[in-house]
A = this chain, B = another copy of it.
Amino acid sequence: MSDSPPIDRPQTPSRAPHSAAFSPLYQQIKGLILQGLDRGEWKPGESIPSELELAARFQVSQGTVRKAIDELAAENLLIRRQGKGTFVATHNEAKVRYRFLRLAPDDGRTGVSSSQILDCRRAKASAEIAAALDLRAGDAVVNMRRVLSFDDVPTILDDIWLPGSIFKGLTLESLLRYRGPVYALFETEFGVSMVRAEEKLRAVAATDVQAELLRIPPGSPLLQVERIAYTYGDRPMELRRGHYVTERYHYRNSLN
């Protein structure tokens, strides 16, 4: 990364005053760093160049780079570590393994969790799924189903859809072989970093199939969590419908 291709920035600020397309310098720098992340110039877990290096490369002051990185760190795309550097966020570290999992036990104790893959197959996207993943109806998707257990109690039934063109090599066998969060697998095997997600929550009654898989009476209340997860550039990369048993666990959320 020691090559320093200076960005195309004229001596006069690269914007016309009063222009509609006006954008502060640090936002432009933020965009350039984002592009680097998207291109995979720096992989999850790795460090990006130091602030001074980036400032030199982009021909701006350290303060401007800092403000760009500040925002990316606030969005959890980067992680600053004083004395060490700035690192690309990853789902591969113990500390942030449950970054997107909001289910917490009612009492404090945190038990062992395990995942059981029930199915993984290729299919054609329905209109609904295509819309969520920004595909066309009939496009290839990967469809998997699994059950997460906490303390050996089945608690979450997940149905997951992924764009087939990107997750080509994802098979039942590779999933069975893998231990750990699927988002970590997506990062290392497919170069897809999940960066942000939107969820829609509902209370529903368990169907017979759901009830059997979760070992609860049919019709029991379940928390349905529909998630669309995005990678860099707000590109949707996963649709997930989860059904949570909330007898001894709850979905926690903070409002500001």
Contact = CB atoms under 8 A, between A and B. Distances in A.
Given A221-B222, A253-B253, A246 B196 contact: no
Contact of A76 (B102, B205, B256): B256
A255 interface: yes
Contact of A253 (B75, B201, B204, B224): B201
Interface in A177-196: 195-196
Given A204-B203, A221-B205, A250-B202, A196 B255 contact: yes
Contacts of A95: none
Interface in A66-119: 74-76, 99-100, 102
A246 B100 contact: no
A148 interface: no
Kindly name the residue among A75, A100, A244, A255 whose own CB sees the greatest number of chain B CB atoms within 10 A: A255
A254 interface: yes
Nearest to A76: B256
A210 to B, nearest CB: 12
Question: Binding site of A, secondary structure by majority: helix, strand, loop or mixed?
Answer: strand
A204 B76 CA distance: 33
Interface in A195-237: 195-205, 219-224, 226-227
B203 A222 contact: yes
Contact of A255 (B102, B222, B255): B102
A219 B201 CA distance: 19
A43 to B, nearest CB: 20
Interface of A: 74-76, 99-100, 102, 195-205, 219-224, 226-227, 244, 246, 250-256
Given A196-B254, A219-B219, A226-B250, 17 more contacts: A196-B255, A197-B255, A197-B256, A198-B255, A199-B253, A199-B254, A200-B253, A201-B201, A201-B250, A201-B253, A202-B246, A202-B250, A203-B223, A203-B224, A203-B244, A221-B222, A227-B255
